[in-house]
Chains A and B, each alone.
Chain A
């Protein structure tokens, strides 16, 4: 059973460019969350997708957007990249429910903005 997978592993972009990161959830999971982990920091919640809609959002600007597909996979898009967007981007999947369900994390995509 494959866990959460993310692509690409590493990415280098320049300021002002746009980037798309991809995530495939663990089998059977229908909810995908994205987190940004800057160097030396803990992960910060960006947003969560369920039933192809953004269900909740953290304190991130509109430059950060996402999408969820019918097969539950998800994309994170960042426009007008800034140097401060350099980070490890983690995807987590879970099963929706009335109460909290464990999130399983992928290995992350390392984004470097030059």
Chain B
């Protein structure tokens, strides 16, 4: 069965510092992987996705993620964090069997210190 683990519940970084959010997945085949961001009181916004091909994926708002099959990881990175990046971040994988549903991790809350 598929699953997603986000080991860090809460991360605090200073504005301008680099960021890496961890995501590990369990999946029987080549996964479709996603990172979403959720601001307070808001729905989910897609930051980036990986289906196949280049393992380094570029997304919106200056985010990127790297798919590492050997480590079953899909970590999200940003070189320089802005105060507006403070939010909840979710890693997700598509369900098996041709399904169109998403399995989400428990999320990482990002706090940005001025």
Do residues B43 and A42 form an inter-chain contact, with CB atoms below 8 A? no
Do residues B43 and A48 form an inter-chain contact, with CB atoms below 8 A? no
Do residues B41 and A107 form an inter-chain contact, with CB atoms below 8 A? yes
CB distance from A15 to the nearest CB of B (A): 25
Do residues B100 and A43 form an inter-chain contact, with CB atoms below 8 A? no
Q: How many A-B residue pairs have CB under 8 A?
A: 56
- Nearest-neighbor residue (CB-CB) of B9 within chain A: A40
Interface residues of A, dominant DSSP: loop
A103 contacts B by Cβ under 8 Å? yes
Do residues B101 and A33 form an inter-chain contact, with CB atoms below 8 A? yes
Do residues B49 and A107 form an inter-chain contact, with CB atoms below 8 A? no
B44 contacts A by Cβ under 8 Å? yes
How many of chain A's residues touch chain B, expressed as a range? 20 to 34
Chain A residues whose CB sits within 8 angstroms of the CB of B106 once the complex forms? 40-42
Query: With A100-B32, A100-B94, A108-B43 in contact, do A42 and B105 touch (Cβ < 8 Å)?
Result: yes
Chain B residues whose CB sits within 8 angstroms of the CB of A35 once the complex forms? 102
In the complex, what distance in Å separates the CA atom of A56 from the CA atom of B97?
Answer: 11
A94 contacts B by Cβ under 8 Å? yes
Do residues B90 and A42 form an inter-chain contact, with CB atoms below 8 A? yes
